[in-house]
Structure formats: structure tokens, C-alpha cells
């Protein structure tokens, strides 16, 4: 990996923790790729990135070609190089991983793309010809942006609608700066605007702007709203003060870093300064919360997770970063009650053990009798995952079918919902998942929408000729 800043230094700011390779380091690291017969790194990448190809080109010093190979399958390689859990995907499946450390694929991807931006090789998509057909996209997260870029490249008139005041969705408001500095997202936004994509921010689809009106405006629509509704802890005391959902906490911290006014932030329930913080959960969002709390000046930060380290869903690399920064992990522990008068003061938890496996093969955590213990807590952050909002109700479109999990149902081949010309992709279909999967879904749905629009145009031409 590139040089990592010391924990004592990075605890005090929100800057990215890794430096960047220089040319010699980038070539040396890329040359470690063995160009194996079966590229397991590529197989385990949701985008099917041509990783061995752009590693070889980097090793040979052909960086512009390496960038073009990376961008051929990924609309946001500069973002994936930073935030993908490579230890669970490409790097975790590198054939030289065992005992020798895998090729640092993510760091090389970041090196390639940052060089490309510096050299002016990254250009907005320029369609060969303009089409009259118009496409509306609801949501400017990774799925929406990926689809927008690819459809604009085919010449469609693109309009992206988002309820927030910045483009990027969770890339801006959910992921902390120490993993993804927001200038990186703003740079991609500027490129897409330069390509002719029109962004309509602070737009409440289903409120001031009706979903039915959007359908009338555009030849096709894509719903890429993501999932934002936090899952609640199932224990007593969740209504106490200073018990907050993870996204509210992270969004406030990110807005503060962006210079926005965040009412009652300082010393309020969304500020960890001077507090003993307990984060409940074991995913990447929980890791973002504990590491943010450290940087805000919490006196102690503990992570409570009901399974063991081996079975946590988050990145093991992120856990190591958190431990280096002073986070204490309480494995095989789950909250039973939050205690306090008006605000939380303690968390009563019990020890767990892993029992029989469920249908997915994961061992189910079971509480151990008489194993209660308490930890002090002035702030409790629930990072238990996200569920979708009720999109049919929000959009006044009851025809939109949903699954038993509340995600939108689509035809798996065409990616179209129950409404003609209305498509859906990303977390609102898949459920809360990785950014790289959202980009993959955006790429796939763009192809399906293109096919639909082509067929629609052909029918219109035939009707016009018949008349």
C-alpha cells in the first residue's frame, strides 16, 4: 500500500489516510501482478474490471492506455479505487495473497485515475449525435450517475433530479472525507455537467414535483433513489436522547466539514466531542461512525457487535484502521437496554455465542444466560443497516410493485418496473449494498433503457410513415 499517515496524526483531521503512489511505486506495484490464467481479481469484481490489463499497462508506463482500460468498464474508477472493500473483492482473491500480500489493486487504480485527471486525459462523454428523446433519473447516487453518463454518451437528453443540495447521494452525505474527499465527487459532477447532463437539485419528487408529471416530461424514467431508512435497535430505551441513527450522524458530520450550517451541532446529539460513544453494528457504516467519532474528539469509542470478528460484514481493513485510531471492539455482544433518565447514560448488553447456521450459512448469534454487563455511553449510534422508503406511496404510484423487503420489483431482464418506461436500479432494487454494485446496476440499466428507447423510436417512426 502507499504510505499511511500515523494514527496519532490522522485522528485529528478528516483527510484521506493514504498517500498516493509515485510513478516508480505505481509501476513496481503493478508489476507484481502474475497475469495468471484465471484472473480471480476480475472474476470477483462486480464490474468485471479488466484489472490484469490495466496493471500490465501501468507496469509498462502506458498510463493513458491503463486509464482507458479502467474507464471502459467503470464510470467512476477514481471513487472505487478509494472506497471499494478490495480486501473482500479483487485483492482478497488475488492468487499471491497468502503470506505475500496481494497486489494493491485499489491504490494502483487511484494512481492511474489521479494521473489521468492531472494530465487532462479524463473527458466528458461526447455523443456522436444528439437524440431528441429525453430521460429523467431520480437520484444522483452512483447508480443514477453511472446510468446518466452512459445514456448521455449515446446522445439522449439527460435530466437528473435529487432532493439534496449536492450531487452524489451517500458518496457525499454518507461516506466520511477520510475515505472519500468530496472534491473527488464534485469533480465528477462538473464533468457530467460539461457533458450536457442537467441536474435539478433540492427537488422533491412526489412532493412539489409529481412523479406523474415527470413521466409526462420524459420518454423514460429511472428510479435510483437508494435506501435511507435506518433500521432501529430492538431494545428498551431507544427513545432516550442522544440515541441517533448512523446516517443522521454521518450526514451532520459531512455537512459540517463542507461548511454547511448544522443547527445545534456543537455539543448536541450529533457531535461526539467529549462523549463516550457506543456504535452498534459491524458493517462499513459502523466503521465510518466509530472513526468519525474519534476525529470529533470523543473521550472513548466502542463498537458493539453481536458476531465475532471473522463474521462481521464490514471490511477487515477498516477494522484495523479503527483499532489503530483507538476504537475498542466488543465482539459477541448485543445491546439489551439503553439506560438513563432523559438521555442515554449506559448500555446494558449481554454476551452472545454463535449457534447453528441459517439458510445463508451464517451462524445465528444467541444470548448467553446471565452474561449481562454495562458500558458507559453519552451517545449511542445505531448502524444496523438501511431499508427502503415506501416509494409507491411517496410517488403516489401504487402500480409500482415492491418485494417483501420493500425494494422495487423489476423484470430481471429488462430492469423495468410494472410501469411502462419506468426502470429502477441500485439499492432501491438490490437493497443496501456496495457502491461498486450500484455502478454495475447503473451500467446495466442504461443498456436496457437504450434498447427500450430505440424500440420506442422505431414504433413512432413506423406509425408516422403509415400516416
Per-residue model confidence (pLDDT) at position 350? 94
151, three cell numbers: 445514456
pTM tops 0.85, yes or no? yes
Total number of domains constituting the chain: 3
Q: How many other C-beta atoms lie within 10 A of the C-beta of residue 126?
A: 11
Quote the Cα angle for 76-82-87, to 5°. Answer: 115
Per-residue pLDDT of the chain (467 residues; tens, 9 = 90+): 888 999 999 999 999 999 888 889 999 999 999 898 889 999 999 999 999 999 999 999 999 999 999 999 999 999 999 999 998 899 989 988 666 689 999 999 999 999 999 999 999 999 989 999 999 999 999 999 999 999 999 999 999 999 999 999 999 999 999 999 999 999 999 999 999 999 999 999 999 999 999 999 999 999 999 998 888 888 999 999 999 999 999 999 999 999 998 887 876 889 999 999 999 999 999 999 999 999 999 999 999 999 999 888 888 899 999 999 999 999 999 999 999 999 999 999 999 999 888 777 778 889 999 999 999 999 999 999 999 989 999 999 999 999 999 999 999 999 999 999 999 999 999 999 999 999 999 999 999 999 999 999 898 888 878 87
Per-residue model confidence (pLDDT) at position 15? 92
Final residue before a domain boundary, out of 354, 371, 386: 386
What strands, in cross-sheet order, belong to the sheet with 379-382?
Answer: 243-245, 379-382, 276-280, 300-304, 328-330
Residue 114 belongs to domain with CATH number: 1.10.1060.10
Final residue before a domain boundary, out of 75, 93, 119: 119
Q: Which residues of 333-358 are buried (b: 16+ CB within 10 A; e: fewer)?
A: bbbbbbbbeeebbbbbbbbbebeeee
Residue 342 belongs to domain with CATH number: 3.50.50.60
Q: Does one domain contain both 199 and 266?
A: no
Q: Does one domain contain both 264 and 368?
A: yes
Q: Does one domain contain both 332 and 412?
A: no
Q: Answer yes or no: is 127 within a domain.
A: no
Q: Does one domain contain both 382 and 444?
A: no
Q: Answer yes or no: is 94 within a domain.
A: yes
Q: Answer yes or no: is 128 within a domain.
A: no
Q: How many other C-beta atoms lie within 10 A of the C-beta of residue 218?
A: 20
What is each CA distance from 57 to 42, 51, 104, 110, in whole angstroms?
16, 10, 15, 15
Q: Answer yes or no: is 2 within a domain.
A: no
Per-residue model confidence (pLDDT) at position 98? 66
Domain residues for 54?
Answer: 7-119
Q: Does one domain contain both 342 and 304?
A: yes
Q: Does one domain contain both 164 and 192?
A: yes
Per-residue model confidence (pLDDT) at position 363? 83
pLDDT digits (tens, 9 = 90+) for 65-117: 999 999 999 999 999 999 999 988 999 899 886 666 899 999 999 999 999 99
| SS3 per-residue string spanning the chain | CCCECCHHHHCCCCCCCECCCCHHHHHHHHCCCCCCCCCHHHHCCCCCCCHHHHHHHHHCCCHHHHHHHHHCCCCCHHHHHHHCCCCCCCHHHCCCCCCCCCCCHHHHHHHHHHHHHHHCCCCCCCCCCCCCCEEEEECCCHHHHHHHHHHHHCCCEEEEECCCCCCCCHHHHCCCCCCCCHHHHHHHHHHHHHCCCEEECCCCECCCECHHHHHHHCCEEEECCCCCEECCCCCECCCCECEEEHHHHHHHHHHHHCCCCCCCCCCCCCCCCCCEEEEECCCHHHHHHHHHHHHHCCCEEEEECCCCHHHCCCCHHHHHHHHHCCCEEECCEEEEEEEECCEEEEEEEEEEEEEEECCCCCEEEEEEEEEEEEEECCEEEECCCEECCCHHHHCCCCCCCECCCCCECCCCCCCECCCCCEEECCHHHHCCCCHHHHHHHHHHHHHHHHHHHHHHHHHHHHHHHHC
Q: Answer yes or no: is 399 within a domain.
A: yes
Q: Does one domain contain both 339 and 403?
A: no
Final residue before a domain boundary, out of 332, 353, 386: 386
Q: Answer yes or no: is 326 within a domain.
A: yes
Q: Answer yes or no: is 126 within a domain.
A: no
Amino acid at each position: 500500500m502507499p504510505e499511511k499517515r500515523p494514527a496519532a496524526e490522522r485522528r485529528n483531521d478528516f483527510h484521506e489516510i493514504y498517500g498516493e503512489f509515485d510513478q516508480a511505486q505505481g509501476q513496481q506495484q503493478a508489476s507484481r501482478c502474475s497475469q495468471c490464467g484465471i484472473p480471480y481479481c476480475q472474476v470477483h469484481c462486480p464490474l468485471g474490471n479488466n484489472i490484469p490489463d490495466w496493471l500490465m499497462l501501468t507496469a509498462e508506463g502506458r498510463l493513458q492506455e491503463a486509464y482507458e482500460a479502467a474507464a471502459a468498464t467503470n464510470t467512476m474508477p477514481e471513487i472505487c479505487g478509494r472506497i471499494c472493500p478490495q480486501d473482500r473483492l479483487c485483492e482478497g482473491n488475488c492468487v499471491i495473497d497468502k503470506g505475500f500480500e496481494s497486489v494493491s489493486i485499489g491504490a494502483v487504480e487511484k494512481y492511474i485515475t489521479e494521473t489521468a485527471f492531472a494530465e487532462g486525459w479524463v473527458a466528458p462523454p461526447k455523443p456522436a449525435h444528439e437524440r431528441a428523446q429525453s430521460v429523467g433519473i431520480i437520484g444522483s447516487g452512483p447508480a443514477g450517475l453511472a446510468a446518466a453518463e452512459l445514456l448521455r454518451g449515446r446522445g439522449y437528453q439527460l435530466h437528473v433530479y435529487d432532493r439534496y443540495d449536492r450531487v452524489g447521494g451517500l458518496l457525499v452525505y454518507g461516506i466520511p472525507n477520510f475515505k472519500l474527499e468530496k472534491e473527488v465527487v464534485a469533480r465528477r459532477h462538473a464533468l457530467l455537467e460539461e457533458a450536457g447532463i442537467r441536474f435539478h437539485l433540492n427537488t422533491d419528487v412526489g412532493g412539489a414535483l409529481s412523479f406523474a408529471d415527470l413521466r409526462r416530461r420524459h420518454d423514460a424514467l429511472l428510479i435510483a433513489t437508494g435506501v435511507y431508512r435506518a433500521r432501529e435497535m430492538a431494545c428498551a430505551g431507544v427513545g432516550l436522547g442522544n440515541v441517533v441513527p448512523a446516517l443522521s450522524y454521518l450526514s451532520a458530520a459531512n455537512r459540517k466539514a463542507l461548511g454547511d450550517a448544522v443547527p445545534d451541532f456543537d455539543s448536541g446529539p450529533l457531535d461526539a466531542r467529549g462523549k463516550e460513544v457506543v456504535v452498534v453494528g459491524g458493517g462499513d457504516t459502523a466503521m465510518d461512525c466509530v472513526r468519525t467519532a474519534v476525529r470529533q474528539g470523543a473521550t472513548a469509542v466502542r463498537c458493539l457487535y453481536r458476531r465475532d470478528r471473522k463474521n462481521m460484514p464490514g471490511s477487515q481493513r477498516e477494522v484495523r484502521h479503527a483499532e489503530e485510531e483507538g476504537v475498542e471492539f466488543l465482539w459477541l455482544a448485543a445491546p439489551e437496554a439503553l439506560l438513563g433518565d432523559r438521555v442515554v447514560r449506559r448500555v446494558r448488553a449481554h454476551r452472545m455465542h454463535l449457534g447453528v447456521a441459517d439458510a445463508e450459512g451464517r451462524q445465528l448469534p444467541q444470548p448467553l444466560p446471565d452474561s449481562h454487563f454495562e458500558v458507559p455511553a453519552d451517545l449511542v449510534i445505531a448502524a444496523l443497516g438501511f431499508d427502503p422508503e415506501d416509494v409507491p406511496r411517496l410517488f403516489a404510484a401504487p402500480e409500482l410493485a415492491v418485494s417483501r423487503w420493500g425494494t422495487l420489483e423489476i423484470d430481471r431482464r429488462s430492469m423495468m418496473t410494472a410501469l411502462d418506461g419506468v426502470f429502477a436500479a441500485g439499492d432501491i432494487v438490490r437493497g443496501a449494498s456496495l457502491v461498486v454494485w450500484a455502478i454495475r446496476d447503473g451500467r446495466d440499466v442504461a443498456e436496457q433503457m437504450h434498447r427500450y428507447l430505440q424500440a420506442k423510436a422505431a414504433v413512432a417512426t413506423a406509425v408516422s410513415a403509415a400516416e
